[in-house]
Amino acid sequence: MLFDKFDNGAVSFANRVVMAPMTRCRADHADAMPNDLMVEYYRQRAGAGMIVSEGLPVSDRARGYLGTGALWNGTQAAGWRRVTNAVHAVGGKIFAQLWHCGRIAHSALHADRSAPAGASTKAAAGCQTWIIDAEGKPVMADCEAPVALSTEEVRGVVKEFMLAAGLAKLAGFDGIEIHGANGYLLDQFRCPVLNDRKDEYGGTLENRYRLLLEVVDACAKIYAPGRIAVRQSPYGSFNDMAVDPEPLVTYPWLATELAKRGIGFLHVFDQDGDWIHDPAHPLMAALRAAYKGALIACGGFDREKSEAILARGQADLVAIGRPFIANPDLVARMRGKLPLAQWDEATFYTGGEKGYTDYPALAS
């Protein structure tokens, strides 16, 4: 099944292996433009049934890291058009991951020096990011305490996502993934520990998911719902998040709301690569019952585990991250049961070609 075609009526992929979204920090921070190296990186990996792009900040203030490619103006969209053309030319598909880092940020990353945007004023303890210091050198710095967005500003964030979705379409992306996972802005709003808001974006589960669902609805005016994915990270604690106290209520509730809207994909990332591989764990079954679209599972998958979760009907597609870094031809290698190269963590975010476009494909 892993190598079978996928088709949901809105979009089709040659196989069920998704390349997971991975920030690689190869863009120039000043213009956040995709460059030739990035075009080549994605072209090399187009054997995936579908690629989810690196997280693309939807505005300057949405940025939380140095050198992330972004999508808030037409020039950037024209740059991404080169990437989508390269992927399409070799038969691949690519979705844009739309991202707002929220409190995982630093004012030095923002052109206007604005403080990180937060659901609340609670800072992310122990979280750091790279910034450029006064002498122009990259240095690690603690993420700064955020300023809580006003209700009006929250509505502005919805508009930013909608604008980015329009630019994604202009750039030729086959769809979009809304990044609602990993402790970034939309996940920060979901979190009942972090979100202490008194307006309609805080309090009940419905209120805490209001921003995400408004973003979904705004983006569905641009892309057919079947071309939209939403990413979540149940049980996740990355970026100083408290684990959701009621995951078996929270995530199926969202899945039901996405199903009502005909959203094509719910992308479930297990940050520990643990519970998602347990056939008896109740969450994937609960999501399956609540959701009508395709479930993408992610976190520590190899060929065997991918086939197992598809066979037991708990996912329709599997997203794979790190192995795609070191194996541009990962799908061909998995299909042929060929050996895999090991990724080098030291070059995940270092910039340049090394550890990015210089992993060879196996000679055919």
Residues that bind ligand FMN (CB under 6 A): 20-23, 54-55, 97, 179, 181-182, 231, 269, 273, 298-301, 320-322, 348
Catalytic residue among 41, 65, 184, 251: 184
Of 182 and 250, which CB lies nearer to ligand FMN in the complex structure?
A: 182
* Smallest gap from residue 152 Cβ to ligand FMN (A): 28
Q: Note whether 143 and 124 are within 8 A (CB).
A: yes
Of 195 and 271, which CB lies nearer to ligand FMN in the complex structure?
A: 271
Looking at residue 276, the DSSP 8-state letter turns out to be G
The beta-carbon contacts of 195-204 under 8 Å, at least 24 apart in sequence, are: 195/119, 195/120, 196/120, 196/122, 197/119, 197/120, 197/148, 199/151, 199/154, 200/151, 201/119, 201/151, 201/154, 202/119
* Smallest gap from residue 164 Cβ to ligand FMN (A): 14
* Smallest gap from residue 196 Cβ to ligand FMN (A): 25
Of 15 and 23, which CB lies nearer to ligand FMN in the complex structure?
A: 23
* Smallest gap from residue 253 Cβ to ligand FMN (A): 21
Of 148 and 215, which CB lies nearer to ligand FMN in the complex structure?
A: 215
Instruction: Please identify which residue in the block is written with the tokens 């305490």.
Output: 145
Q: Is 351 left (phi over 0), alpha (psi -120 to 50) or beta?
A: left
Q: How far apart are the first and last CA of the chain?
A: 23
| 184 carries an active-site annotation | yes
Helix, strand, coil tally for the chain in percent (to 5): 35, 15, 50
Closest residue to ligand FMN, Cβ-based? 321
Element (H, E) at 82: helix 74-89
Residues labelled as active-site residues: 184
